Structure 1
Amino acid sequence: MAAGSPGGSSIMESVVKSADRVVTVLTVLATAPTGLSFTDLLNKLELPRSSLHGLLQTLIQSKVIVYDPETKLYHFGPKIWELSMAYYHRIHLVPVAWPYLQRLRDQFDQTVQMAILEGTEILYVAKVESSHPLQLVSHVGSRLPAYATGLGKALLATLDSQTLEATWKHLDYEQFTENTLSSFDALCVELDRSRAQGFALDRGEYSADVRCLAYPILGFQNRGVGAISISLPAPSFTPILLNDLVGELQHIGQLISIQIGSADPDAWRKGSEPSLPVRERLL
């Protein structure tokens, strides 16, 4: 049935009404930390009894709310906690990370950046310039394709294969340089390499004369919430500097992850086999 047809319009109105009712139920429950009974909710929401019952059952199944059979009260469920923690870590990420980003910049005098994943792009949320600023296209508030950046690949390496396939398998991989990844299969190989070596690398895949090392930041439940990177001119990218940069980048990334709630900052690498000799082959 076409979305513009009368039937399609009524379905959309029904969906919007259901979503509005979910928000209303959660808002009312938020005012009662000790919980509310079915009768309490019925009186406050003024919904049909059958509609409220169906709505509550759906929210219980998704763990958004829970029902205590002894007290006969409804409360917020564990899903609310997960969502609130994700939001908390998102808005606190930059203030927590900022001194560590400055420390990383001061140690190597290279440009340090931080980004978060937004759909198929990364959004830059922090940048600390070196004393010899690179001519980078990125700036705080800008977006770039995740597959063409070190920060993006670090973030994608934290995702499970099902999530990756759903979003990235049929993506149009635009080529920015001769080094840009060109397919989903190439992306998967690159992410496996990133997990094995413990960092992501941009080999001039968006800007040909720039190299970038990146490491993901994990938060609550060891989920990827951001990534940090060090960018430098291609001529400065030597094996000796690479080893120094990687060790400190990993250390700083793990410190930030612990600060914002990760119990295992290296969890994103689990399931991969360590491959220490790869570093010289990356240059």
Structure 2
Amino acid sequence: MTSLGPTHGPPPREFLQSVDLSLTLILMLRDLGSLTITGAAEELEVSASTVHRSMAMLVYRGFATRSESRTYLPGPALSSSSLQPGVGSELIAACASHMAAIGAETGETTNLLVLVGNKCHFLHTVEGTLPVRVGSRRGQVMPADQNSGGLAMLAERSAAELRALYPSLPDAEFDALRRKLHRTRTRGFAINNGLYEHDVSAVGACLLNDLGDILGGVTVSVPTGRFRGVHRRCAESLTKHTRDLNRKLEGARFTAPSLKG
């Protein structure tokens, strides 16, 4: 097996190949952001069945999650530990019934997420009722500019705040991001058409209190294959319920999510 990633000192006397493979796959997920069984097997020069067995254990322990296209992404054990325990419990309680209502109206999966820096942390999921649906995203972390809830929340930031979140983004790309966020504000909701996972698309809206503080975001996630036909209906349900939620949350002063030191 090809060795990838850093090593420290000589290999142990009782070298466990299967453990080393699993740890290497974790490093690859962390650094590459996604893996396929075939691609990892070719990179590591082992059989696909060997990689599949190790990846199944990583999914079981939360280090990986399998997308609808059978691509593996970093799981909650790799990406969500930066949120302090208990963050979002009040927000989840306030939003749960509305999320269930959106799911009942659309049949699609609804997510609640918060913005931490330029990343979105998924706090709660109500899975859709359709046989083919997007699975739970609870515990996952994704780039804010690559999912609809993140875009909806970023759209409420000023230019200076955005530049602080993306200090190294070239000017042309930064301007393109600002134009996308301006369209989101004008439209009233954000659209993600397969940005992070090509087989998953979504619409998203921002939750705000009466002071304009960003409390979180709600998304409706749809398999990309049927997104074009249902996204307007999903957006209508989403915007109706987020309007109601924003009225409900007018006086909310939740503690902003923070990162562990």
**TM-score bucket of the superposed structures, by smaller chain:** 0.5 to 0.7
Contact persistence 1:111–1:133 (CA under 8 A): no
Query: 1:96 is aligned with what amino acid?
Result: A
Scaled by the length of structure 1, the TM-score of the pair is: 0.54
Task: Answer yes or no: is 1:193 the counterpart of 2:183.
Answer: yes
Q: Deviations over 1:32-59 (max 9, x none)?
A: xxxxxxxxxxxxxxxxxxxxxxxxxxxx
Alignment of 1:1-283 (within 5 A): 90-131=88-129, 132=131, 134-135=133-134, 139-171=137-169, 183-239=173-229, 241-261=230-250
From the CA coordinates, give the structure whose radius of gyration is larger: 1
What number of residue pairs does the alignment pair up?
Answer: 165
- How many Å apart are 1:151 and its aligned residue? 1.0
Query: 2:190 is aligned with what amino acid?
Result: A
Gaps of 5+ in 1: 1-88, 173-181, 264-283
Gaps of 5+ in 2: 1-86, 253-261
- How many Å apart are 1:238 and its aligned residue? 2.8
Scaled by the length of structure 2, the TM-score of the pair is: 0.58
Contact persistence 2:106–2:237 (CA under 8 A): no
Query: 2:101 is aligned with what amino acid?
Result: R
Contact persistence 2:108–2:134 (CA under 8 A): no
- How many Å apart are 1:183 and its aligned residue? 2.8
- Determine the C-alpha separation between the residues in 1 that align with 2:120 and 2:251: 21
Counterpart secondary structure, 2:211: helix
- Determine the C-alpha separation between the residues in 2 that align with 1:242 and 1:111: 12
- How many Å apart are 1:261 and its aligned residue? 1.4
Counterpart secondary structure, 1:237: helix
Q: Deviations over 1:85-130 (max 9, x none)?
A: xxxx954211010000000001111010010001110000110111
Contact persistence 1:212–1:232 (CA under 8 A): yes
- Determine the C-alpha separation between the residues in 2 that align with 1:262 and 1:192: 26
Counterpart secondary structure, 1:117: strand
- How many Å apart are 1:185 and its aligned residue? 2.2
